[in-house]
Amino acid sequence: MSPTNGEKQLIPPDLLEILVCPLGKAPLRLEGETLVCTKCGLVYKIEDGIPNLLIEEAALPAGVSELKQLACYGEGSP
Ligand SMILES: [Zn+2]
């Protein structure tokens, strides 16, 4: 493997594929330097190339003030 210049790959595509929102198990999409849940819109930070999927540290989407309002809420647990 040779080092690649230019484009900075934050998250390898194969890793991104298996990452899901811990709340509702929905897929995530890469948006800038964050991961955004395609279902509930929670914004997860990527720190040093490692996705931080802690719900407590994720940013709530606009218009949402608590986790209960999220589309993913309650989906992951019975
Ligand atoms: Zn979600």
pLDDT for 11 equals 87
Q: Does 1 have pLDDT greater than 70?
A: no
76, part of any domain: no
- For residue 55, the CA-to-ligand 1 centroid distance in Å is 9
Close Cβ partners of 47 (under 8 Å, ≥ 6 residues apart): none
2, part of any domain: no
74, part of any domain: no
Structurally, the chain folds into a number of domains equal to 1
Range of the domain at 22: 13-69
Domain at 62, CATH number? 2.20.25.10
4, part of any domain: no
Contact by Cβ (8 Å): 29, 38: yes
pLDDT for 34 equals 95
pTM of the model: 0.82
Give the neighbor-by-neighbor strand order of the sheet with 28-31: 28-31, 34-37, 43-47, 50-51
Those residues whose beta carbon sits under 5 angstroms from the ion ligand 1 are 21, 23-24, 26, 37, 39-40, 72
Q: What is the pLDDT of residues 43-78, one digit of tens each?
A: 999 998 899 999 999 999 999 999 999 999 987 555
